[in-house]
Amino acid sequence: MASDTVAFVKMQGAGNDFVVVDNRDYGFSGAELSVAAEAWCSRRYGVGADGLLALAPPRSSAADYRMGYWNADGSRATMCGNGARCLFRFARCRGVGGGSALAFETDAGLYRAVQPGSAPDTVRLFVPDVTDVRPQFQLEGPVPDAIRTLTFVHSGTEHLVATVDDLAAAKVTKWGRQLRHDAGVQPAGANVNFLELGPGRGVRVRTYEKGVEAETPACGTGVLAAAVVAERTRSASTARAVPVRTRGGDLRVGHAPTDRGEERYLEGPAVVVFRGKVQPPSASPRTASARRGDASRRGRD
């Protein structure tokens, strides 16, 4: 569908921010959305965001819609927990589905989400069982001495969870970039989550995200991965939720009874920031090179 402008909504979940479009209206291809992500997500030349979310028609009758997600560098991502909550709220505002819960397809499988209680800014995302957990994960390159344990977790996308004693002292950008590019996690790479186990059940997490190539305020699937590692490290019961503090805000990982049995969930904010219009996707060399320049300069420590 040809259009002079593209309507979007800027949203954020715990500071993880997104440009959100209803691709049912435009029918952009994956290649076009990749170009759009790189242009629109630029914080100097575009709207500014960690990624682009696209609402699309479902491919099966089991889902109400399909979620597409592209990182700020234009790369396709299989799943984004904070983005999934935001797209759920966007879909509901666009009149998708008839019930309180919506099911949606992602590149990582089928997910469901609900709005618990009456707070419109809070979304509970039910997630599949996290079965790919590899403790004492070995990389090919050196690991900083401050990292006590390293675990690989696939919680919708690839994650390394690095436990540390002092999260504030962790060199997230330097260490995250090093571990994210280690040959042991290629070719997909991995997000790198630095986890500090606090008193009680609470944990604190900081994340270096591939595709953004910088620390982000929060990462939903990273929070999920960190909570799984925290549960295993403490040999804790999963009956109570794990509160997770990120730089962008607080989230919760827990279990709740549903019509499908006991399911794990990721719960947190999904907030509308503003609405606007942008130019349609275009392969602008200036924008692309500028975005890569931003990424290479951001957050050095």
CB distance 71 to 50 below 8 Å: yes
Q: How far apart are CA 174 and CA 155, in angstroms?
A: 23
Alpha-carbon distance of 134 to 64, in angstroms, equals 33
The pLDDT tens digits for 4-45 are 899 999 999 999 999 999 999 999 999 999 999 999 999 999
Q: How far apart are CA 270 and CA 281, in angstroms?
A: 25
Q: Specify the pLDDT at position 183.
A: 97
**Cα–Cα distance measured from residue 188 to residue 159, given in angstroms and rounded to the nearest whole number:** 10
pLDDT for res 276: 97
Cα–Cα distance, 104 to 109 (Å, whole number)? 9
Res 237: pLDDT: 55
Task: Tell me what pLDDT residue 54 has.
Answer: 98
Contacts of 135 (CB under 8 A, 6+ apart): 149, 151, 232
Q: Which domains does the chain have, with CATH numbers?
A: 6-129+269-297 (3.10.310.10), 132-258 (3.10.310.10)
Sign of the torsion angle spanned by Cα atoms 146, 151, 153, 158 = positive
- Average pLDDT of the residues of the chain: 90
CA angle at 111 for the pair 21 and 61, rounded to the nearest 5°? 85
Give me the pLDDT at residue 42, please: 95
Could you say which residues of the chain have pLDDT below 50?
283-301
Structure tokens at 240: 């109570």
Known catalytic residue: 80? yes
Number of continuous H segments (helices) and E segments (strands) in the chain: 5, 17
Q: What is the pTM of this model?
A: 0.87
pLDDT of residue 284: 44
Sign of CA dihedral 260, 263, 268, 273: negative
DSSP letter for 232, please.
Answer: H
